[in-house]
């Protein structure tokens, strides 16, 4: 469920941790950890926060989008899966999409299409990413000219999908 500032105050209560601090704690734990399983759980948790617009500014402030992109380059396929999931969850926001593209995220997400892990591929396919947002973002920015977009040329005819 999407949240807002008022709902967040109600859910946090007097003794709770504010959302920005909680996300910062997760990032710090990720950076300090050497346990791959723990890192996987942290990135999965961060990816779950990435769907809610309330968290977008915090994510940019804390460089969580860049953390997701870093995960995509890791040899650990679960980190890749959760990293691309976080990118797909957050890229519907234009400011997040801008950060992702400026940091070279489009070629990284495109590389995920050839992953041996089915979940990584299904998350990174244009037809499955947050109502096509990252997929369209990737293919608009990386492959197509305005002319191709105007023609709405089908991606499967270009050989990108089965």
CATH label, 5-158, candidates 3.90.850.10, 3.30.70.1290, 1.25.10.10, 1.20.1630.10: 1.25.10.10
Above 70 in pLDDT, residue 1? no
Where are the chain's structural domains? 5-158
DSSP output for 83-143: HHHHHHHHTTSHHHHHHHHHTTHHHHHHHHTT-S-HHHHHHHSTTTSTTTHHHHHHHHHHT
Nearest residue to 43 via CA among 86, 3, 98, 99: 86
What average pLDDT does the segment 63-88 reach? 93
Are 23 and 8 within 8 A, CB to CB?
A: no
| 3-class state of residue 34 by DSSP | coil
Q: What average pLDDT does range 132-149 have in this prediction?
A: 41
Average pLDDT on 151-156 reads 39
Question: Is residue 17 helix, strand or coil?
Answer: coil
Q: Write out pLDDT tens, residues 21-31.
A: 999 999 999 99
The pLDDT assigned to 32 comes to 98
């Amino acid at each position: 469920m999407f949240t807002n500032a008022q709902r967040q105050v109600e859910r946090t209560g007097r003794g709770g941790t504010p959302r920005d601090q909680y996300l910062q704690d997760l990032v710090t734990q990720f950076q300090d950890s050497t346990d791959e399983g723990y890192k996987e759980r942290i990135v999965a948790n961060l990816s779950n926060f990435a769907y809610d617009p309330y968290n977008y500014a915090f994510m940019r402030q804390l460089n969580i989008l860049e953390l997701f992109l870093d995960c995509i380059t890791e040899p650990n396929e679960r980190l890749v899966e959760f990293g691309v999931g976080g990118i797909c969850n957050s890229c519907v926001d234009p400011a997040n999409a801008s950060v992702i593209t400026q940091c070279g995220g489009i070629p990284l997400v495109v590389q995920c299409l050839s992953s041996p892990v089915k979940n990584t591929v299904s998350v990174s396919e244009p037809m499955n990413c947050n109502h096509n947002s990252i997929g369209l973002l990737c293919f608009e920015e990386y492959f197509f000219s305005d002319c191709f977009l105007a023609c709405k040329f089908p991606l499967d005819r270009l050989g990108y999908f089965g």
